[in-house]
Amino acid sequence: MKVDTTTNDLAHLFLQLGLESEQSAIETFIREHSLPSEMLLHEAPFWNTAQKHFLVESLAQDAQWSEVIDYLDTLLRKP
C-alpha cells in the first residue's frame, strides 16, 4: 500500500488545484477572489471543472485536503 506523504498546506493545495503555489501568488489569489456568504466554495466562478471536482470530492470523502480546503474557504470570505 502506497502512503501519501504530501504535506497538507495551502501551497500544496494550490499545486493540487493547478495554481501557482508561491506565497505571493497565493496572497494575490486570495486578494483578487472572494465568495459571497451564500455561495459554496466549489460554486465559485473562478474554478475550472477539474478544480470544482477536486474540491467536491475531497470534502465529500473528508479527504486529507478537507481542513486546508476549509481554511481556503475562510480566507476567501471577506467581511
Tens of pLDDT, residues 4-53: 556 789 999 999 999 999 999 999 999 999 999 999 999 999 999 999 99
The residue-averaged pLDDT of 56-62 equals 91
Residue 3 pLDDT class (50, 70, 90 cuts) = very low
Fold of 10-75: Arc Repressor Mutant, subunit A (1.10.10)
The C-alpha cell 495554481 sits at 19
Query: 77 with 44: CB under 8 angstroms?
Result: no
Q: By the 8 A CB rule, do 29 and 19 touch? A: yes
Spans of all domains in the chain: 10-75
